[in-house]
Amino acid sequence: MLQTVLIIAGVLALWAAFALWLSHRQGISIHQALLYAPLKLVFRIDDSSLRAAQTPGPVIYAISHQSRLDPALMLSVLPNDTLHILDEASSRAMWLEPWRELARTIAFKAQHVFVNRRLTRRLKGNGRLAVYFPFDAEPDVKSFRLYRAVAKIAVSADAKVVPIYIRGSSHLPGAYEPAAKTPRQLLPKLRIMALPARTIGELVEDAGPVGITTSNALFDRVAEARFFSQGRPKTIFHAVRSAALLYGPGRVIAEDVAGEKLVYRALFAKARILSGKLVEIGTSGDIVGLLLPNAAQSIATFLALQSAGRVVAMMGAGVGPVDLVRDGTIRIVVTSRAHVEKARLAGDIEAIAAAGGRIVYVEDLESSVTMSERVLGWIAWRARRLPRQADDAAVVLFKQTANGQRGVVLSHANLIANAAQIEARLVLSRSDTILSVLPLHTALGLTVGLILPLMKGVRALAYPSPLHTRQIPQVAGTRHPTILFATDALLAAYAKAAQTNDFDSLRLIVSGGERLRAATRQLWADRFGKTIMEGYGLTEASPVVAVNSITHGRAGTVGRLLPGMRMRIEPIDGFELGGRLKIAGPNIAIRYLSADEAMATDGWFDTGDIVSVDREGYLTTLGRAGRLAVIGGTTVSLALVEEAAEAIWPNSIHAAVALRGTTGDDQIVLVTTHPDADRAVLARQWKRHGFDDAVLPSKLIPIRSMPTTTNGRIDHARLVAICEEELGLSSAA
């Protein structure tokens, strides 16, 4: 009996000592610390950012409410003079009674938010208010009213805002998100992310050149807490391994139309086995070319190269310059005989070999694996081969420029950050399946077709070529994916080839890579009743910069900036509609290949794109800085010329080219797929629509089909050649 009493007394003494330490460390009362101590131990809570919560009043804590445990945590760690506005269930729950004694609480009712004088008075007296916002990344219209009301209160009281997000709370047994969408863990590790206090005015001022509304400023700040809660950057291998442990090693995460399916454990086992062979080729940090199609095996090979500490240069047909092999930048290219044969890449392989490159076939690697190596691979499936750091180079992607292809070096942290930014803006869950059609050697294809699904437990259904416009709708109709990322040209082609019910399962369609035409948007709305969300990005940004979403969507724009990013818009002489976009954020690439200087100058990267932004923060792309024409001293975006042509001939595809003239003015040529293109007809319609005569194309070049790149984007480099050939000129731009 005495021994039992001593044990109990010892436990109580340790509890009290730990509570005293927490009270001193966190600046909370001993009563709060006594209730917080067991929660901190059981859930291994990382609360290192909570110093932001100790800011002097007036302050509003904007809490993303994900589970029933959140109020208990917040009542334990926030200053005890905070007024907590709880939901009805939390205000009545009997088990929360000890925590409700820690601070004053009221049940959430509409009058507490919309009749806000009482709350404003409390804040003006250096008070504190904790508001529990809906946990959705994309709240519905009704829920978004709470952001408007709280922003109004914060402005009236000149209160600071501290957003709080509890990473891991959505995996608790008492989480509000359905278990079918988010996996449950009995005792997940929690991380409380509290961002530094900022007033709404400061947030509006920092948002951009014209500022944004107060409610959107608050919404974006809450989303940033969700993004930054991911913690310190990891390598791609570590990030995917963490997802495997969270979502379950037996979860099917990758499959292809050939029938191969890989669960997380099998994916890592394959990567472990292949990496054992790859480490024998070259050294850590070498740039290794990867020439494989969208397939489950390709995903495993990519992960194997990451495990082996290699930098993966994503290559495709004509992508990945042979010059880099010739000068020794890329000495090894991993491919498969099956892909070389099916994609007719024998010429590319011969050119690489002739330039001194070593071709490594996946089939040869697999055939050389011994039984013991296979067994060890399955046993040690979670182990990486060679260490890498988050800021080390992970991938090289090639983008087409006026001077040929240019390599962009992206770090592990860049790609992981962009995947987390997308997850903080769009609603994704483990019940989703992404139909991955964009080639992995493109920035968007790699991020949304491989990195994002593997990190977020979303199944990736890989299809080898986006140009199979008849087969892809059939695959969608039989395999029922829920998310599709594609370009405008591909979406238009899929819609025309599909049966009415082929895309019924899709809940999210995102267009990127080029401007979404109104005709394509309308075609999907009419045929399938689906709304396309347009986004914007570039390879140097890993690649997504902005995107429309279900709650924050505006047709004709590319959406709003992703969390964790900032922008500047610099004016352009003679151009009044917008300016040149510069961006900053954790997703900006390290550097260009064969260049030592950093990608960003003074922290800002010049995108070379011309945009405008409205008061809601929506970006509208107006063209590239290199795709501007000067007419009579006025600078005109060729993209606006294309939009005007689209308004006149909406069912055709148009591309404008500027020819440099000897007089200083440019000559605009319109390349169009309109079958009966006639400049006289265009001129009459141009005037009828009220477009400026000064930017009316001086020449038309009809073309049967618009030249495109491998991911379906308009190939402007080939358009230049077409214009030169048709008009006998050599100065197209």
How confident is residue 238, by pLDDT bands cut at 50, 70 and 90?
very high
Instruction: Confirm if 484 and 460 have CB atoms less than 8 A apart.
Output: no
For the stretch 549-584, pLDDT in tens is: 887 888 889 999 999 999 999 887 767 778 889 999
178 vs 313: CA distance, rounded Å: 39
Q: Please state the rounded mean pLDDT for residues 142-152.
A: 86
The arithmetic mean of pLDDT across residues 365-372, rounded, is: 94
Tell me the two tokens of residue 341: 């044969």
Measured distance CA(648)–CA(652) in Å, rounded:
9
Give burial (CB, 10 Å; 0-12/13-18/19+) of 9: exposed
Between 232-246, 461-475, 565-579, the lowest mean confidence (pLDDT) is in: 565-579
Cβ-contact 624, 657 below 8 angstroms: no
Which residue bears the tokens 């495997």? 244
Which residue type is seen at 484? L
- Residue type, position 127, single letter: G
For residues 64 and 86, give the distance between their C-alpha atoms in angstroms, rounded to a whole number. Answer: 12
Contact 510, 533 (CB under 8 A): yes
Residue 278 is predicted with a pLDDT of: 94
Strands 566-572 and 404-411 turn out to be unpaired
Radius of gyration for the chain, computed over Cα atoms and rounded to the nearest angstrom: 28
Alpha helical stretches, state H, 93-235: 97-100, 110-114, 117-124, 141-157, 200-206, 214-228
**Distance in angstroms (rounded) separating the CA atoms of residues 252 and 296:** 11
Q: What pLDDT score does 712 carry?
A: 66
Please indicate whether the domains covering 232-413 and 626-727 agree at the CATH topology level: no
What pLDDT is recorded for position 633? 67
Indicate the helix (H) or strand (E) that contains 166.
Answer: strand 160-167
Distance from C-alpha of 326 to C-alpha of 348, rounded to nearest angstrom? 13
Q: Return the higher-pLDDT residue of 249 and 106.
A: 249
Sketch the domain layout of the chain as residue ranges: 1-42, 43-228, 232-413, 626-727
- What percentage of the chain exceeds 90 in pLDDT? 54
Report DSSP state, residue 708.
B
φ, ψ dihedrals at 717, nearest 5°? -65, -40
Which residue reads 């009058």 in tokens? 111
CATH superfamily, domain 232-413, is: ANL, N-terminal domain (3.40.50.12780)
Q: Provide mean pLDDT across the span 247-274.
A: 95
% of the chain beyond a pLDDT of 70 = 95
The DSSP code sequence of 615-669 is TT-BEEEEEETTSEEEETTEEEEHHHHHHHHHHHSTTS-EEEEEEEPTTS-EEEE
CB-based contacts of 640, cutoff 8 Å, min separation 6: 577, 622, 623, 695
> From CA 454, how far away is CA 428, in angstroms rounded?
12
Closest by Cα among 246, 411, 216, 385 to 312: 411
| Among 248-252, 316-320, 386-390, 434-438, the least confident range | 316-320
Q: Residue 143, CB half-sphere, CA atoms under 13 Å: how many?
A: 16
Cα–Cα distances (Å) from 511 to 7, 487, 555, 557, in that order, read: 63, 5, 12, 11
Does pLDDT of 414 surpass 60?
yes
pLDDT at 110 over 60: no
pLDDT tens column, 276-309: 999 998 888 899 999 999 999 999 999 999 999 9
Please give the pLDDT value at position 691.
Answer: 76
Sequence-ordered alpha helix ranges (H) in 330-384: 337-342, 346-354, 362-367, 371-379
- Residue 681 vs residue 432, higher pLDDT: 432
Instruction: Please choose, from the candidates 610, 540, 621, the residue with its C-alpha nearest in 3D space to the C-alpha of residue 581.
Output: 610
pLDDT in tens, 536-551: 999 999 999 999 988 7
Biggest alpha carbon–alpha carbon distance for the chain: 104
Of residues 5 and 163, which shows the higher confidence score? 163
Tokens of 74: 């917040």
Summary mean pLDDT of the chain: 88
For residue 501, give both structure tokens. Answer: 């019910």
Is the distance from CB of 14 to CB of 22 less than 8 angstroms? no
Phi-psi region of 231 (alpha: psi -120 to 50; beta: other; left: phi over 0): left
What is the residue whose two structure tokens read 């932001």?
52
Identify the band that residue 632 occupies on the pLDDT scale cut at 50, 70 and 90: low
End-to-end Cα distance, the chain: 91
The listed range with the strongest mean pLDDT (395-409, 448-462, 630-644, 657-671) is 448-462
Residues 226-248, mean pLDDT to the nearest whole number: 92
Q: What are the backbone dihedrals phi and psi of residue 607, each rounded to the nearest 5 degrees, phi first?
A: -75, -25
The pLDDT score that the predictor gives to residue 710 is 65
pLDDT tens sequence across 596-608: 777 777 889 999 8
Alpha-carbon distance of 568 to 601, in angstroms, equals 13
pTM (two decimals): 0.88
> What pLDDT is stored for residue 433 in this prediction?
96
Concatenate the DSSP letters of all residues of 309-341 into one string. TPEEEE-BTTBS-HHHHHTTS--EEEE-HHHHH
Task: Evaluate if residue 626 carries a pLDDT over 70.
Answer: no
Gap between the Cα atoms of 216 and 144, Å rounded? 9
Integer Cα distance of 177 and 168 in angstroms: 12
The second-level CATH assignment, the architecture, of 626-727 is 2-Layer Sandwich (3.30)
Q: Tokens 């278990």 belong to which residue?
A: 179
Question: Which pLDDT score, from 0 to 100, does residue 733 have?
Answer: 47
Nearest to 298 by CA among 405, 414, 454: 454
With contact defined as beta carbons under 8 Å apart, do 80 and 53 qualify? no
The residue type of 557 is: T
Tell me if 425 sits within 8 A of 563, measured CB to CB.
Answer: yes
